[in-house]
Amino acid sequence: MSGSFPSSQDIYLFHQGNLYHSYRLLGAHPSEEEGRSGTRFTVWAPNAREVRVAGSFNEWHAGHHCMNRIEDSGLWTLFIPDVGEGALYKYEVHGHGGEVKLKSDPYAFYSELRPNTASVVTSIDGYQWQDADWFKRKKRKTAAVYNNPLNIYEVHLGTWKIKGKELFYTYEELATDLVDYAADMGYTHIELMPVSEHPFDRSWGYQITGYYSVTSRYGTPDQFKLFVDRCHAKGLGVIMDWVPGHFCKDDHGLRLFDGTPQFEPADERLAEKHQWGTLSFDFSKPEVVSFLISNAIFWMDVYHMDGLRVDAVASMLYLGFGREDADSIRNVNGGLENLEAIAFLRKLNETVFQYFPQALMMAEDSSDWPLVTGPTDAGGLGFNYKWNMGWMNDVLKYVEMDPIYRKHHHNLLTFSFMYTFSENYVLPFSHDEVVHGKKSMLDKMPGDYWRKFAGLRALYGYQMAHPGKKLLFMGGEIGHFAEWKDLWEIDWFLLDYEKHAQMQQYVRELNRFYQDASPLWQQDHTPDGFEWVDPHAEAQSIVTFLRKGVKKTDVLLCLTNFTPATYMEYRVGVPRAGTYVEVLNSDSEKYGGSGQVNEVPVKAEKVPWHNQPYSIVIKVPPLASVMFRYAFRSAAVPTL
């Protein structure tokens, strides 16, 4: 559609909220018209009195480049000859009240490096992708998307590594350094904190001005495509944090774009997100729906994203979210739900899966809204994953206690199993848990130096054993002592110290073990993949359960001891006769543990225990996670 005059069908679909590739119509598209090369500019500004194009090609004097209004569509368009890629531009928007503002293009595909704010004429076509095999493999796995390993490394590109103050690694450099590292560490996916253009570094990308513009902080659009391409070549999927709930108020952005509330609601109570200083999108406007759904499609179509983690879903679901007078804001039925946002989320997911059936659509939702991952025709929101914020909060509250008190709060470990199969969950230890005074993952652990590392290894082992997919924020894998410093890089120098190097080795081998251990992911979202052995050992602060693969003999016995006590002979129930082999022990000396391991395979005895027909007697190490695998007919058993 690039370079063509908008058709009546395109305009109709845009105003119906159904133009899902609206980025092929709006924005700045280098093209050739009537034998002349140039760029066609098209923008939606329904209440503007006049719109002009100002840029580097007219010395920012827009008088000769007045755009043409397309009837009553609210769209303005103009073809300017001899303007090509690299040209800087903005829209000079004249409001009916006489105000004139220079606005960046909402559909800009590239932007100037902040603090400059002009849009840049850029073609989104032409890159030669090399990831056809990746998508073929994904297509074969589509039906089993829930039954495959999913272990995510969450990354902020500006602080994973840095060369100096505001001297960032480029997408091209990260395509080697970061991608090789994540692949070597055994992750299946990289999740990027938002890479859409944003004016303020310390918003981490969550307050956006350029929804279609990959940030220029780290390079060019083609360099970012190279980054994604190389992720796929190394077997890594790419998920991007996406922010449809709100946008920042910077004057060159979407706020009062045509001089009136255009992208935001006119009602201040619905528009303002006071706790973030941002504005909500107006989901009642079909054109805003076209803008946002097209943006989700854009990242998958143009940049080959494998999925989106949708930020702050709870803020979209409820009217007046975060407001003291929230109860005063009601929908047409008298309720507090944001009906238009709910309809948008359902339509978003239906549309994404229509075009990309294998996509990952993950809701970061802190509410107790039901059926977030339920199908839309059954009343669900239609996501295929939801972050388990309840599990994260409970387990972190638990492990931050001194072990002597944990027995009194055993329910914080066991409660999650009451609802773990109600949604398709991801278990997140994300950036939000290691910033703003919350301490790093390692520093959350009580006790001395040894106990901190042991406790963290136990926690990571427990996360792997618990039903649900996995996510860890960068730095957590090396036992970062300081919480995330959002202006500087991970403290990589810590790897010169033995305990941190051992922690990294443990996480690397734990990740690889996870990928090989089908009981940990094959039936992740069904009760058939889980069975309690002993949820009642609160006095010992121990939890024990089975994780099950599809084959009846494909069973892992998982036990985590959350105290520094060691049990030399601890009886545990098991489901069948035979031999059990220890395949994971976070207390191994190679990881910095005390070496209380079960080196010899353990034979089950005909002693009923824990409601199981057989039992084994094992050594339980201090502050540790252990797993035993049923050895069937002397089959090779992957061990860690």
Q: Active site residue: 311, 365, 483, 524, which one?
A: 311
Tokens 């659009």, located at residue: 221
Does 311 qualify as catalytic in the annotation? yes
CA dist 165 to 159, 169, 214, 218, 485, Å?
10, 11, 21, 14, 12
How many Å apart are CA 480 and CA 495, to the nearest integer?
Answer: 10
Neighbours of 369 (CB within 10 A): 18
Burial class (CB within 10 angstroms; exposed 0-12, middle 13-18, buried 19+) of 165: exposed
Q: Which residues contact 528 (CB under 8 A, 6 or more apart)?
A: 548
DSSP 46-71: TTEEEEEEEETTTTT-GGG-BPEE-T
615: which 2 tokens? 């039992």
Catalytic annotation, pick one of 287, 306, 340, 364: 364
Closest CA to 113 of 206, 219, 221, 223: 219
CA–CA dist 32, 559 (Å, integer): 66
CA distance 401 to 397: 7
| 170 neighbors 141 (Cβ within 8 angstroms) | no
Task: Give the span between the Cα atoms of 562 and 620, in whole angstroms.
Answer: 11
CA neighbor of 352 nearest in space, from 313, 299, 312? 299
Q: How far apart are CA 507 and CA 429, in angstroms?
A: 14
- Under 8 Å between Cβ of 278 and 247: yes
Q: Let me know: does 83 contact 54? Beta carbons within 8 Å.
A: no
Q: Which of 399, 400, 423, 425 is nearest to 413 (CA)?
A: 399
Written as six digits, the tokens of 371 are 């059926």
Backbone phi, psi, residue 362, to 5°: -115, 130
H or E element at residue 571: strand 567-574
Single out the residue of 310, 182, 299, 153 nearest to residue 243, CA to CA.
310
Q: d(Cα 152, Cα 425) in Å, to the nearest integer?
A: 13
- The total of other beta-carbon atoms located within 10 Å of residue 397's CB is 12
241 as an active site residue: the answer is: no
Determine whether 311 is exposed, middle or buried from the number of CB atoms within 10 Å of its CB (0-12, 13-18, 19+).
Answer: buried
Q: Are 588 and 612 in contact (CB under 8 A)?
A: no
Kindly list the catalytic residues.
Answer: 311, 364
